[in-house]
A and B are shown apart, each in its own frame.
Chain A
């Protein structure tokens, strides 16, 4: 198993641009989580899906952020328009609800100039 795949690994963009982060979870897992990590705030849960259905998006900072999971093998997190304060590492985690375990992808380091 390749584990959780995220792309791109690094993204540098200018303020106001649209950013799309992608995630492929582990096959057979039924939950998917998007996190953001910064030095100041630590690891924050943005949104999670069970069986491709969004369950809780209360962690999404504002309407500029949106996430979709059109099928069991793909999810996107979109920021439009991006702002410098969105600069962070964004992690996708694949979850097995039977054991509550989550496995993290390598992350996308986003820099908004």
Chain B
């Protein structure tokens, strides 16, 4: 059973701070890693993808991947109240499609 684990939260951060979201996965053969954002009542929205070890930056978002530790994280700089949502980590294994974690609820306090 391939698993993706996330802290369910809620994670509360003040406006302007850095929010750090973490995810671990069980399948060592995993090759593609994604972060989705889901607002309440809406569908998941792809915000970041990362395929190799290291950091990938896109605007205020940075995804970090460490395959040796089977760990992927998402940093959100200068957090805004509009970033308040559930963040889903998703992983693609060798022969499996996307496996989702249960999500971390982020609350940015103005």
Contacts and interface: CB of A to CB of B under 8 A. Distances in A.
A101 B43 contact: no
A100 B102 CA distance: 19
Interface stretch (A11-19, A22-30, A42-50, A62-70): A42-50
B109 interface: no
Interface in B87-110: 88, 90, 92, 97-100, 102-103
B46 interface: yes
Interface of B: 31-32, 34, 36, 42-46, 49, 88, 90, 92, 97-100, 102-103
Main secondary structure of the interface of B (DSSP, over half): strand
Contacts of A104: 36, 43-45
B45 A42 contact: no
A102 B88 CA distance: 13
A61 B90 CA distance: 22
Contacts of B49: 99-101
Interface of A: 31, 33, 42-43, 45, 48, 56, 91, 95, 99-107
Contact of B100 (A31, A42, A56): A42
Contacts of A106: 42-43
A57 B15 CA distance: 43
Nearest to B34: A101
Given A103-B46, A104-B45, A43 B97 contact: no
Contacts of A103: 46
A42 B102 contact: yes
Given A99-B49, A101-B49, A33 B43 contact: no
